[in-house]
Amino acid sequence: MMMGVELAFPKVVGKQVYGSLYECDEDVLKDTKRLEQIIKEAADIGNMNILDIKSWKIGEGVSVVAIILESHITIHTWPEYRFATVDVYSCGPHTSPLNAFRYIVEKLGAKRYTINEADRSSEF
Amino acid sequence: MMMGVELAFPKVVGKQVYGSLYECDEDVLKDTKRLEQIIKEAADIGNMNILDIKSWKIGEGVSVVAIILESHITIHTWPEYRFATVDVYSCGPHTSPLNAFRYIVEKLGAKRYTINEADRSSEF
């Protein structure tokens, strides 16, 4: 019999990368079509599978949600403050929410941003 | 001239309450219509204004997103594990993401859950 070590992995492996983006490109923050394109590209870069993208104009700003097979990506923008918040929440070790987040930061032209990570894995 | 203290509040006040729900009611986790109703009621309880609710069946599970004027609420479910994750992210001091979160926990019949808070306010 082989000696072995039993490794336990959670059944649902999830990670969320989120943050605040400052001094962004105001024109991009207003541009629904451009934001939808950016969120699509970010999902590709993070190796996620997009099911749907929806957006809503809220005043000057836009809220964009990508529902991905692995959970979701959201961007909320406040062009009047050149401010946006981004959440990339994805399940599965094949995905890279960090790469997707960084891509969005770059494309929104943020001069400064905060970044946080939350473990969204199950305990079992 | 009045003596005064200058108080500075962030321009965008946001708070996110999120967590993992365990040992939920499996039937509720599969039921798209029921989940849409729960997310709607949760938004009302949290004093948020719903713009739209969308849902996607993913295997046995469901992803539901409510876009609210104040940001978003999401529920992702894994009925096979009686597991769900919930995010309630809302802007504005008039909202209570905590109350909305607790309502969802109750309606999903979670026997156990984790709860986390993230400050999503702007620094300016």
What interface predicted TM-score (ipTM) does this complex get? 0.89
Cβ distance A14 to B85 less than 8 Å, yes or no, reads yes
Q: How many CB atoms lie within 10 A of CB A8?
A: 6
Banded pLDDT at A9 (limits 50, 70, 90): confident
Does a structural domain hold residue B28?
yes
Q: Is residue A52 part of a domain?
A: yes
Which residues of chain A have a CB within 8 Å of the CB of B20? 120, 122-123
Q: Please tell me the distance from the alpha carbon of residue B74 to that of residue B58, in angstroms, as a whole number.
A: 14
Q: Please indicate, yes or no, if residue A124 is contained in any of the structural domains.
A: no
Q: In this structure, is residue A23 part of a structural domain? A: yes
Domain span holding position B46: 21-112
Annotated catalytic, B76?
Answer: yes
Token digits of residue A39: 């969120």
Report the number of distinct structural domains present in chain A: 1
Q: Tokens for B51, please give them.
A: 């713009």
Residue A92, in any domain of the structure: yes
Q: What angle do CA B108, A17, A94 make, to 5 degrees?
A: 85
- CATH number of domain containing B96: 3.60.90.10
Whether residue B71 lies in the annotated active site: yes
Q: Does residue A4 sit within a domain? A: no
A20 band by pLDDT with thresholds 50, 70 and 90 = very high
Residue B12 in domain:
no
Interface test with A, best of B54, B81, B85, B119 (most A CBs within 10 A): B85
* Cα of B44 vs its chain's centroid, Å: 11
